[in-house]
């Protein structure tokens, strides 16, 4: 479960002064649900998700990830989440097997257990042929599958995806979308950000429209359609952000 | 802080680094081969240059001595110099390396000598130029022999004993053991090379583990794992320290072996051996140099980790670290300068203190008070640098300064 309560994040820039990247963000996502943060570039999606993943510390408010407060117990929160974005790269000089096993060990698994889970995931994700290849030698699509294995190795109950399909080809993007669906089916709490309307329409149980760091609208696709009188999510988005 | 997590990170970073060609070159290849290659290269080159200069028959000019056929003929008959006709621009010709030296003689040189007077001879040279120096040596030797012969002749003519003009004989004898004499020569060079190499061996891994992670996008990947930032920085720090210490250890070992080999090549009856030089480092010196370098390696590792982390990309990190090498070179060079001796004040100057104490250790002198003071002060500086590195790893504006 993820519960964000009045979450805020400010940055201090020497030239631009205080930049409010996220302001008073509150939302709730339960297990087996996909919550989509929909927003334009620079809307605050990545910052919000980085705060939830405790990569960045909030300047106001808080959130609970799998029952752990991100301010009080950030390491426990991270222990229970998997974070994937196109920016989360792999270690090029390590093999696919070593990378996933390494992250298993970092999440508290012993080497034997990390190896066992890695091999199971590789079988499931059809990565057996690539296990001993260095990540720098893998194609983008295979790298993406190895990243999925990395996020799943400790079997986290909460998954956070930051624009996971951005910059990927159609086939690699489909793998990611299928993976998000699988997470929902297996009862995981999923929060993901996108600026691709079709992805949000296909995947999200609840959509939150974020603009200038603030959550302007929230609801299921049907609820948003009813509220704004439009069928197309793109039209709803434009109406909400006032473009 | 969790020791298990630190060990997991350290093992991963070590595996990663050992697969990186650039790290392996700076950490293993350079320290092993630099000293032997430098020794062989410099040795062969200088032997070649000196040999060539000694074999050369330099052109020299006689200025004056118009009425002194005896001395000018004697000079012209010398086999190891070639006397060329006099010219008024002889000084310029020396500077232009057309001739190597000139001898200025009074025109009545022969008459002055015959009368028992003193004749003044001047040898004009290009100071610092090796061929000119060797030419001057040959002329000096000729005139020294001439002087001694003349003194003997004058004393004989007066029926006086030959030792009359030599009331005292001065002899200089070395009382220091050979390893100390060699140590004075090597003492400055060994720590200089080891310190520089332990810094350069640290540079690439430090950049790769920090700004390299930013550039490759793996920083976010590692930060979303449940390890603490302290464990993360300590795991990385230990890897950089391993690089620094192994570079230093390999450099010391390589130098020891090179010097032992050089010592054998110099041989028992050689001139250097006769002069009391012995080019070798004792095992105790090797161990103590390594002990003293260790806190400096910690300082380098932590400082370079912190500075590299602060950079946005590799290029920026290199522009930060390049001036740092000068900061390290300067005290290391100062320690080689003659007359710079270890004292309480200098014992607190980072890098210079280690360099000076290692110089003493290599020459077999152990000032235990300074050793303890330098070790302690270096540990304090190293701890400070490590603290800064840990603090920087907790700052978002540094980690995400992209």
* ipTM of the prediction: 0.87
Q: Write out B256-308 in H/E/C secondary structure.
A: HHHHHHHHHHHCCCCHHHHCCCCCCCCHHHHHHHHHHHHHHHHHHHHHHHHHH
Q: Residue A144: pLDDT above 80?
A: yes
Q: Confidence class of residue A105 from pLDDT cuts 50, 70 and 90?
A: very high
What does the pLDDT read at residue A166?
A: 82
First-to-last C-alpha distance (Å) of chain A: 33
First-to-last C-alpha distance (Å) of chain B: 27
Residue B218 and residue A91: Cβ atoms within 8 Å? Answer: yes
Phi and psi angles of residue A163, each rounded to the nearest 5 degrees, phi first: 40, 60
What does the pLDDT read at residue B346?
A: 87
Residues of B in contact with A91 (CB under 8 A): 12, 16, 216, 218
- Residue B355 contacts residue B335 (beta carbons within 8 Å): yes
| Number of Cβ within a 10 Å radius of residue B303 | 25
The bridge status of strand A158-162 relative to strand B82-84 is unpaired
User: pLDDT higher for A140 or A136?
Assistant: A136
How many Å apart are CA B47 and CA B50, to the nearest integer? 5
What does the pLDDT read at residue B179?
A: 64
Residues B101-130 have pLDDT tens digits of 999 999 999 999 998 899 999 999 999 888
Across-strand partners of B14? Answer: none
Residue B226 and residue A105: Cβ atoms within 8 Å? Answer: no
What does the pLDDT read at residue B166?
A: 81
Enter the DSSP assignment of B88.
T
- Residue B218 contacts residue A91 (beta carbons within 8 Å): yes
Enter the DSSP assignment of B313.
S
Using CB atoms, pick whichever of B9, B224, B227 lies closest to residue A53.
B224
Mean pLDDT of A104-129: 94
pTM of the model: 0.80
Cα atoms in the 13 Å half-sphere on the side-chain side of A78: 27
How many Å apart are CA B107 and CA B68, to the nearest integer? 6
- Residue B23 contacts residue B208 (beta carbons within 8 Å): yes
Q: Residue A108: pLDDT above 50?
A: yes
Residues of B in contact with A107 (CB under 8 A): 225-226
B3 touches A at CB < 8 Å: no
Angle at B92 between CA B89 and CA B94, to 5 degrees: 110
Rounded to whole angstroms, what are the CA distances from A203 to A39, A171, B62, B303? 15, 17, 101, 47
What does the pLDDT read at residue B269?
A: 46
Q: Residue A187: pLDDT above 90?
A: yes
Q: List the alpha helices (DSSP H) in B63-119.
A: 69-76, 90-95, 109-115
Residues B199-254 have pLDDT tens digits of 888 999 999 999 999 888 888 889 989 999 999 999 999 999 999 999 988 988 88
* pLDDT winner (highest mean) among A11-20, A131-140, B351-360: A131-140
- Reduced to 3 states (helix: H, G, I; strand: E, B; else coil), residue A20 is strand
How many Å apart are CA B109 and CA B129, to the nearest integer? 29
Residue A107 and residue B221: Cβ atoms within 8 Å? Answer: no
What does the pLDDT read at residue B324?
A: 84
- Residue B126 contacts residue B132 (beta carbons within 8 Å): yes
Return the percentage of chain A with pLDDT > 90, whole number: 72
CA distance A126 to chain B (A): 22
- Residue B101 contacts residue B132 (beta carbons within 8 Å): yes
Residues of B in contact with A106 (CB under 8 A): 5, 8-9, 222, 225-227
- Residue A9 contacts residue A22 (beta carbons within 8 Å): yes
Across-strand partners of A208? Answer: A37, A218
Angle at A116 between CA A114 and CA A119, to 5 degrees: 105
What does the pLDDT read at residue B367?
A: 85
Across-strand partners of A12? Answer: A18
What does the pLDDT read at residue B96?
A: 93
What does the pLDDT read at residue B254?
A: 85
Element (H, E) at B198: helix B178-209
CA distance B10 to chain A (A): 11
| Number of Cβ within a 10 Å radius of residue B400 | 16
b (16+ CB within 10 A) / e for B158-184: eeeeeeeeeeeeeeeeeeeebbbbbbe
CA distance A99 to chain B (A): 9
How many Å apart are CA A201 and CA A224, to the nearest integer? 11
How many Å apart are CA B26 and CA B17, to the nearest integer? 11
Average pLDDT, chain A: 91
| Number of Cβ within a 10 Å radius of residue A217 | 19
Which B residues in the span 193-232 are in contact with A, Cβ-Cβ below 8 Å?
Answer: 216-218, 220-228
Q: Confidence class of residue A2 from pLDDT cuts 50, 70 and 90?
A: very high
Q: List the alpha helices (DSSP H) in A94-154.
A: 96-106, 111-124, 140-152
Q: Confidence class of residue A156 from pLDDT cuts 50, 70 and 90?
A: very high
Mean pLDDT of A204-233: 93
How many Å apart are CA B71 and CA B225, to the nearest integer? 91
For chain B, list residues with pLDDT below 50: 268-270
Least confident of A85-94, A208-217, B184-193, B301-310: B184-193
How many Å apart are CA A92 and CA A89, to the nearest integer? 9
Return the percentage of chain A with pLDDT > 70, whole number: 99
- A160: closest chain B residue by CA: B224
Using CB atoms, pick whichever of B9, B216, B396 lies closest to residue A92.
B216
Residue B158 in tokens: 């007066």
């Amino acid at each position: 479960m993820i519960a964000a309560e009045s979450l805020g994040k400010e940055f201090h820039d020497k030239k631009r002064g205080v930049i409010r990247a996220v302001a008073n963000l509150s939302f709730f996502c339960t297990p087996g649900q996909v919550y989509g943060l929909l927003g334009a570039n620079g809307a605050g999606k990545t910052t919000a998700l980085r705060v939830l993943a405790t990569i960045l510390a909030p300047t106001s408010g808080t959130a609970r990830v799998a029952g752990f407060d991100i301010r009080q117990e950030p390491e426990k929160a991270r222990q229970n989440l998997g974070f994937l974005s196109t920016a989360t790269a792999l270690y090029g000089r390590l093999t696919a097997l070593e990378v996933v096993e390494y992250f298993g060990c970092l999440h508290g698994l012993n080497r034997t257990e990390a190896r066992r889970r890695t091999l199971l995931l590789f079988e499931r994700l059809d990565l057996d042929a690539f296990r001993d290849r260095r990540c720098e030698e893998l194609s983008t699509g295979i790298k993406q599958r190895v990243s999925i294995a990395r996020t799943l190795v400790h079997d986290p109950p909460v998954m956070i995806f930051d624009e996971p399909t951005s910059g990927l080809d159609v086939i690699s993007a489909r793998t990611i979308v299928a993976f998000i669906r699988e997470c929902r089916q297996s009862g995981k709490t999923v929060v993901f950000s996108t600026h691709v309307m079709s992805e949000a329409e296909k995947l999200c149980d609840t959509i939150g429209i974020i603009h200038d760091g603030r959550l302007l609208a929230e609801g299921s696709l049907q609820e948003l359609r009813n509220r704004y009188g439009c069928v197309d999510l793109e039209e709803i988005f434009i109406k909400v952000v006032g473009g | 802080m969790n020791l298990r997590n630190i060990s997991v990170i350290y093992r991963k970073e070590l595996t990663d680094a050992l697969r990186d060609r650039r790290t392996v070159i700076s950490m293993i290849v350079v320290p092993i081969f630099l000293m032997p290659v430098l020794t062989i290269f410099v040795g062969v080159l200088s032997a070649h240059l000196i040999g060539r200069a000694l074999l050369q028959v330099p052109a020299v000019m006689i200025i004056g001595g118009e009425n002194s056929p005896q001395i000018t003929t004697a000079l012209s008959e010398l086999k190891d110099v070639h006397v060329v006709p006099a010219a008024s621009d002889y000084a310029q010709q020396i500077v232009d390396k057309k001739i190597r030296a000139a001898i200025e003689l009074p025109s009545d040189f022969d008459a002055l000598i015959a009368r028992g007077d003193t004749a003044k001879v001047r040898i004009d040279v290009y100071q610092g130029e090796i061929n000119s120096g060797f030419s001057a040596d040959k002329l000096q030797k000729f005139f020294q022999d001439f002087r001694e012969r003349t003194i003997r002749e004058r004393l004989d003519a007066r029926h006086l004993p030959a030792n009359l003009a030599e009331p005292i004989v001065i002899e200089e004898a070395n009382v220091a053991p050979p390893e100390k004499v060699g140590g004075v020569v090597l003492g400055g060079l060994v720590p200089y090379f080891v310190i520089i190499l332990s810094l350069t061996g640290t540079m690439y891994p430090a950049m790769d583990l920090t700004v390299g992670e930013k550039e490759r996008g793996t920083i976010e990947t590692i930060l979303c794992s449940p390890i603490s930032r302290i464990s993360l920085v300590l795991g990385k720090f230990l890897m950089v320290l391993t690089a620094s210490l192994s570079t230093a250890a390999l450099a010391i070992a390589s130098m020891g072996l090179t010097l032992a080999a050089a010592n054998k090549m110099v041989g028992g009856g050689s001139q250097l051996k006769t002069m009391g030089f012995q080019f070798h480092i004792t095992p105790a010196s090797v161990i103590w140099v390594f002990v003293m370098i260790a806190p400096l390696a910690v300082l380098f590792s932590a400082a370079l980790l912190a500075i590299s982390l602060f950079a946005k990309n590799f290029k920026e990190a290199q522009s930060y670290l390049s001036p740092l090498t000068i900061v390290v070179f300067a005290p290391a060079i100062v320690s080689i300068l003659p007359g710079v001796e270890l004292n309480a004040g200098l014992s607190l100057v980072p890098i210079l203190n280690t360099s000076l104490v290692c110089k003493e250790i290599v020459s077999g002198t152990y000032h235990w008070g300074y050793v303890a003071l330098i070790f302690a002060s270096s540990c304090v500086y190293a701890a400070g640098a490590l603290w800064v590195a840990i603090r920087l790893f907790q700052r978002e504006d540094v980690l995400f300064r992209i």
